[in-house]
Amino acid sequence: MQRLHDKVSIITGAAQGIGLATALKFAQEGAIVIVCDVNQTAIGDAVKQCEALGAQAIGYVMDVTQRASVDAVVGKVKEQFGRIDVLVNNAGITQDARLQKMTLEQFDRVIDVNLRGVFHCAQAVADTMTAQGKGVILNASSVVGIYGNFGQTNYAASKFGVIGFTKTWSRELGPKGVRVNAVAPGFITTPMLSTVPANILKDLAARVPLKRLGQPEEIANVYAFLASDEASYVNGAVIEVSGGMSV
């Protein structure tokens, strides 16, 4: 049985990495997948991959930092399907530098995408979900948002902030039937790590009790569980998916 049958699911940053893996997993589980990203070509490819799995999928160019862009997409989805069941706030970027070297532009850009973008998307769907009396918002945090990381002042702050959002919204929206949870991935093999030197990646893997980096699908599986009715009593949780990195 498909766990997400006909659930209208908006996924941001869905054209690559964990977002794409999540879109494909949701497609396999029977969701109606709304692929949102800033890359039109990649969106088209992602939609085709979802459709190849038998799912209904639609792609939209959406910049999470621009509220008008977010509202336009959410409006179209609600108009077409009459409801929004799941939001996966996956879109995120890194612009790393040590505290003394970080530019204001680097700081602002990461906060804008990773924190303000999550706020925009959640606020845009909240009224619809509470009116339905049912919905799921899933936020992408990170182990960096729990433990910090060298050279990632902006990223760590944004991912700590996402945990704050999750805890707060679970209290505000929970009484209306809307569950809000976060996933905190460890180091996952995605395009985001493509700029990291091989020797550093090897060192990262060595720090994990499972002695390897994670795969995007391993995060997508957790999102699919949290989005499903199987997780009906999970609310306000931050689930670390890191191979035991913090043990």
Residue 183 dihedral angles phi and psi, to the nearest 5°: -115, 135
Within a domain: 32: yes
pLDDT tens digits, 173-190: 999 999 999 999 999 999
Pairing mode, strands 8-12 and 86-89: parallel
Within a domain: 246: no
Cα angle, residue 126 at apex, residues 124 and 130 outer, rounded to 5°: 150
Sign of CA dihedral 82, 6, 136, 69: negative
Give me the number of domains the chain comprises.
1
Within a domain: 247: no
* Spatial CB neighbours of 5, under 8 Å, sequence gap ≥ 6: 29, 30, 31
Residue 19 domain boundaries: 8-240
Within a domain: 123: yes
> Which one, of 115, 226, 235, 118, lies nearest residue 178 by Cα?
235
Within a domain: 136: yes
223 an active-site residue? Answer: no
Predicted structure pTM score:
0.97
Asked whether residue 195 carries a pLDDT value surpassing 80, the answer given is no
pLDDT tens digits, 5-50: 999 999 999 999 999 999 999 999 999 999 999 999 999 999 999 9
Within a domain: 245: no
pLDDT tens digits, 62-103: 999 999 999 999 999 999 999 999 999 999 999 999 999 999
Q: What is the rounded distance in angstroms from the CA atom of residue 139 to the CA atom of residue 181?
A: 6
Q: What is the rounded distance in angstroms from the CA atom of residue 219 to the CA atom of residue 17?
A: 10
pLDDT tens digits, 146-173: 999 999 999 999 999 999 999 999 999 9
Residue 131's CATH number:
3.40.50.720
Within a domain: 100: yes
Within a domain: 1: no
Catalytic residue, chosen from 60, 155, 223, 233, is 155
